[in-house]
Amino acid sequence: MTTALTNIENKNFLNYQYQKLPSFFKKNESKKNFDKIFAFLYNFSGKTIFFITKQECLITVLKLLNLKNIYPKYIKNIYDVNNKNNFFYIIGGLKNSFIDVKKNVLFVSTQEIIKNFHDKNTTLITNQFLYQLKFNDLIIHMQHGIGRYQGLTTIKTASYESEYLVILYAEENKLYVPISSLHLISPYAGNWKKNIVLHKLGHDKWEKEKNKISQNLYDHAAILLNIYANRLSKKGFSFKKNEEEYNLFCQDCLFKITLDQKKAIQSVLNDMYKSIPMDRLICGDVGFGKTEVAMRAAFVCISNKKQVIVLVPTTLLAEQHFNTFSTRFSNWPINVDILSRFRHERDKKKILKNIKIGDINILIGTHKVLFENIQWYNLGLLIIDEEHRFGVIHKEIIKKIYSHIDILTLTATPIPRTLNMAINGIKDLSIISKPPEERKKIKTFIEEYHPIVIKKAIFQEISRGGQVYYIYNKVQGINNIAEKLLNLVPGVKIKVGHGKMNHIELTKIMNEFYQNYFHILVCTTIIESGIDIPKANTIIIENADHFGLSQLHQLRGRIGRSNNQGYAFLLVNSFKKLTLDAQKRLESISMTNNFGGGFSLSNRDLEIRGIGDLLGKEQSGHINGIGINLYMKLLNKTIKLYKNGEKKILLDDLVKKSDIELYVPAFLSKDYIFDVNQRLFFYEKIKNASSKKEIENISFELFNQFGKLPKFAENLILITKIKLLAKKIGITHIKSNKKIGIIKFNTSNLINTTYLLSIFQKEPHLWKMVNPTKLKFLHDFKDDSIRINWILNFLQNLKNMK
């Protein structure tokens, strides 16, 4: 099959049998192109075969196609196309999409579709799902604690057959979890630095931990809601926009604004128009235009006769922002100044005086300004750039001094605490996820340290007229590294830069590098934040495994800021000696070798580092106890319950569902869906369904992708409908075999008592109220499917009949 397609692809497309697809299949731009692709697919009159390159991409592609109401059937090869369906998919590679005109078949490379697809909810926020599990991944069961995923298995008992998820616990004990109980399971994402100890089955340690976590969730919910309430209760300044002046300022922008930037700008302005102080986080990858968003906010602030402070973590970044802001506001009567540790005392006094009388409109400063007794003429806006670089003390000062004014935070990789506050609604969040049109993805290579790798990388860059950053993050020995490089690549001009150098000397070196006076800058992480050198498009990071995830991401973002291809080489001494933590970091940075990766890296950082700084160290143990994914899910549920006045919230109550036991096979068999992760994907989808309509849509998906549902799969769909209905009515438990059944319900329920009384009167020998919340029934069911449908109909009558 592959050979046949390769031959076709290599043919001259002037051959009328094979026709290229329209150009919008190739372009990676707007949603408009994406819509054109699907319009083309819908309107094509023949058969369509989607080629999915890797098994791992399968679910992502199918989810996308299903969103667009395309449900392709799986085929093993291109000759299995039948007349019953129009859409099919196959696991295999296809470089270019094309049409076989003679056979009226459209061959689609899904890579071309996916690169046009951008869904912020799925590509930026990296949630872990059951279908993403790999063998031996950590997993958490709400009743038994942390274990390791061992796959799915089918077990046949005397009564019936079912599929189970297998979890390995301490002392090599295994737990077999029926797929009906998957709501009790969540992938674990906690602190990878910590050697996770698996729980023992039957031990009370997990129960004790659960009780502590329950209390912590309740306290945490109270804190979050209190912060949010305080924010809403504060009175801020309601800014007004001078439309004419603002439009003129926007016209001065030299770059084309992306759609995401427009949305972020509008959100910021809407916040500023309100009387509640703004607290918005702008998350955008390096070079995506966050600064332009901030400058437009600053312009509106100054137009309202108020001042702006821009807080940055380093002197170098302060100087760069000073130059950027000064240039951007040069056509306006707006004064920009800078305050850092390198300003002379005489200059500092003058700056403080000018701030007090209102002669300075925008002050750019490092953390030093937090410790100055600044008397503002009329401060209105605080802009914080690279927030993750500021310490706890700095943040406490900001909270104390500036909480009454509008705050705009800019970051490429928000620290976990900030990220989760944004996700939880304590901060408002805007994501700039699309790069400027001319930007190219940075190619990242993780290599063991070797002079040949370094030499090749340097010569490749210099031969195209570019420059190289070489990162060595120790001041001691950095000059020796520069000498080694001189010996390795003789004739190349090299200079050294680090934070302990004299400010004037360091500034001179950075200016010379900017003007391309030398080829290689050997430096520490001083370049991490915001330094833009257009011709520096290769970065080599020695001992990359010693850096944090956000550091690696920021450093990599220093290159590729022009139209040229950027190359990042992350060097480690030995792959064999890497810690698990380092492996995860390097794996993550290579996985997010894409634009807009900062946000997803920050989520990933939660998994690797743990979550100690979410709301302080006190919570970290509890959060690591169940993993960040599950903690955040449960926290959101706790917040809802807290709002409804619940005083005591138990962990088990947060995942409780109606218990249905009908002793019938109800699962997706291997014969029906061969791929384990695909089965898990649909199990999870069924588990998360919250309405009858959702379940029917899933059933429709299964039918379209895999054909008619076998009896076991139909049972699963029907039992899920029973569960949903039972929960809605207030039924906690249904247990039934072919002869007898038990139904238990809450004291508070939606049961139609009139209907109950009527069936008692009609068939008193078949019904009995065992106690006020327990109903027993007798019935002689000949067939399992009849019994399941009878129970479903009974529940519908129990709720709906008046």
Two tokens at 801? 């009949």
694 exposed, middle or buried (CB, 10 Å; 0-12, 13-18, 19+)? middle
Lowest mean pLDDT, pick from 214-228, 244-258, 462-476: 214-228
Q: How far is Cα 70 from Cα 106, in angstroms, rounded to an integer?
A: 14
Q: Provide the pLDDT confidence category of residue 188 given band limits of 50, 70 and 90.
A: confident
Two tokens at 684? 């999870």
For domain 443-594, give the CATH number: 3.40.50.300
Q: Provide the pLDDT confidence category of residue 794 given band limits of 50, 70 and 90.
A: very high
| Residue-level pLDDT at 274 | 93
| Residue-level pLDDT at 617 | 47
Residue 6, pLDDT > 80, answer no
Tell me the helices (H) and strands (E) count for the chain, helix number first: 27, 29
What is the share, in percent, of the chain residues with pLDDT greater than 70?
83
Residue 668, pLDDT > 80, answer yes
Domain ranges of the chain: 2-117, 243-432, 443-594, 676-800
Coil, strand or helix: which one is 322? helix
pLDDT tens, residue by residue, 582-611: 887 887 787 665 555 555 555 555 554 544
| Residue-level pLDDT at 238 | 95
Other CB atoms within 10 Å distance of the CB of residue 158: 4
Lowest mean pLDDT, pick from 99-103, 335-339, 418-422, 793-797: 418-422
Residue 699, pLDDT > 80, answer yes
Residue 672, pLDDT > 70, answer yes
Any idea what the Cα angle at residue 453 is, between residues 450 and 459, rounded to 5°? 135
Q: Locate tokens 């508070």: which residue? A: 748
Coil, strand or helix: which one is 67? helix
419 exposed, middle or buried (CB, 10 Å; 0-12, 13-18, 19+)? buried
Q: For the residues 146-167, what does the mean pLDDT come to?
A: 91
Coil, strand or helix: which one is 416? helix
**654 vs 666: which has the higher pLDDT:** 666
Q: How far is Cα 121 from Cα 288, in angstroms, rounded to an integer?
A: 19
Residue 422, pLDDT > 50, answer yes
| Residue-level pLDDT at 389 | 72
Q: For the residues 241-250, what does the mean pLDDT come to?
A: 94
Fold of the 243-432 domain: Rossmann fold (3.40.50)
Distances, alpha carbon 92 to alpha carbons 296, 532, 539, in Å? 48, 42, 35
Q: Provide the pLDDT confidence category of residue 390 given band limits of 50, 70 and 90.
A: confident
Strand partners, 365: 311, 339
Give the ranges where 204-258 is alpha helix by DSSP (H): 205-233, 243-251
Amino acid identity of 88? F
Q: How far is Cα 273 from Cα 269, in angstroms, rounded to an integer?
A: 6
Contact 280, 355 (CB under 8 A): no
pLDDT tens, residue by residue, 628-644: 667 767 777 777 777 77
Residue 246, pLDDT > 90, answer yes
**283 vs 131: which has the higher pLDDT:** 283
Residue 800, pLDDT > 80, answer no
Lowest mean pLDDT, pick from 10-24, 101-115, 155-169, 758-772: 10-24
Q: Provide the pLDDT confidence category of residue 13 given band limits of 50, 70 and 90.
A: very low
Q: For the residues 553-567, what does the mean pLDDT come to?
A: 82
Two tokens at 290? 């966050």
Amino acid identity of 615? L
649: closest CA among 311, 217, 361, 260? 217
| Residue-level pLDDT at 548 | 82
Coil, strand or helix: which one is 782? coil
| Residue-level pLDDT at 118 | 42
Q: How far is Cα 657 from Cα 145, in angstroms, rounded to an integer?
A: 18
| Residue-level pLDDT at 652 | 62
If you ran DSSP here, which 8-state letter would residue 191 be given?
Answer: B
Residues 6+ apart with CB under 8 A from 770: 742, 776
Q: How far is Cα 655 from Cα 653, in angstroms, rounded to an integer?
A: 6
User: Parallel, antiparallel, or unpaired: how do β-strands 87-91 and 105-109 relate?
Assistant: unpaired
If you ran DSSP here, which 8-state letter would residue 334 be given?
Answer: -
Q: For the residues 420-430, what does the mean pLDDT come to?
A: 66
pLDDT tens, residue by residue, 673-686: 888 888 998 998 89
Structure-derived torsion over alpha carbons of residues 652, 655, 661, 667, reported in degrees to the nearest 10: -140
| Residue-level pLDDT at 482 | 95
pLDDT tens, residue by residue, 524-539: 988 766 567 889 999 9
Q: For the residues 134-146, what does the mean pLDDT come to?
A: 89
Other CB atoms within 10 Å distance of the CB of residue 4: 11
Contact 531, 554 (CB under 8 A): no
Contact 723, 792 (CB under 8 A): no
Q: How far is Cα 512 from Cα 94, in angstroms, rounded to an integer?
A: 48
pLDDT tens, residue by residue, 281-327: 898 877 788 999 999 999 999 999 999 999 998 888 888 899 899 99
**185 vs 634: which has the higher pLDDT:** 185
Q: For the residues 507-529, what does the mean pLDDT come to?
A: 87
The mean pLDDT value of the chain amounts to: 82
Residue 266, pLDDT > 80, answer yes
Q: How far is Cα 101 from Cα 8, in angstroms, rounded to an integer?
A: 12
If you ran DSSP here, which 8-state letter would residue 564 be given?
Answer: S
Would 443-594 and 676-800 be classified into the same CATH topology? no
Residue 648, pLDDT > 70, answer no
Q: How far is Cα 385 from Cα 35, in angstroms, rounded to an integer?
A: 36
* For the ranges 46-55, 417-426, 476-485, 623-632, the one whose mean pLDDT is highest: 476-485
pLDDT tens, residue by residue, 702-715: 887 888 899 999 99
**Distance, CA of 73 to chain centre:** 30
Residue 347, pLDDT > 50, answer yes
| Residue-level pLDDT at 602 | 56
Fold of the 676-800 domain: Aspartate Aminotransferase, domain 1 (3.90.1150)
| Residue-level pLDDT at 615 | 43
| Residue-level pLDDT at 14 | 39
CATH 3.40.50.11140 fits 2-117, yes or no: yes
What is the share, in percent, of the chain residues with pLDDT greater than 90?
39
Two tokens at 271? 């916040």
pLDDT tens, residue by residue, 190-232: 655 456 789 999 888 888 888 888 777 777 777 767 766 776 7
305: closest CA among 361, 353, 374? 361
Q: Provide the pLDDT confidence category of residue 28 given band limits of 50, 70 and 90.
A: very low
Coil, strand or helix: which one is 693? helix
| Residue-level pLDDT at 647 | 62
Q: How far is Cα 250 from Cα 77, in angstroms, rounded to an integer?
A: 55
Whether the pTM exceeds 0.85: the reply is no
Contact 329, 303 (CB under 8 A): no
| Residue-level pLDDT at 112 | 72
pLDDT tens, residue by residue, 204-213: 888 888 888 8
From its phi and psi, is residue 15 left (phi > 0), alpha (psi between -120 and 50) or beta?
beta
Contact 709, 702 (CB under 8 A): yes
Other CB atoms within 10 Å distance of the CB of residue 752: 16
757: closest CA among 769, 743, 745? 769
206 exposed, middle or buried (CB, 10 Å; 0-12, 13-18, 19+)? buried
**Distance, CA of 434 to chain centre:** 15
| Residue-level pLDDT at 306 | 97
**383 vs 76: which has the higher pLDDT:** 383
Residues 6+ apart with CB under 8 A from 419: 283, 599, 602, 603, 606
Structure-derived torsion over alpha carbons of residues 248, 254, 255, 256, reported in degrees to the nearest 10: 40
666: closest CA among 600, 712, 723, 719? 712
User: Parallel, antiparallel, or unpaired: how do β-strands 467-471 and 443-448 relate?
Assistant: unpaired
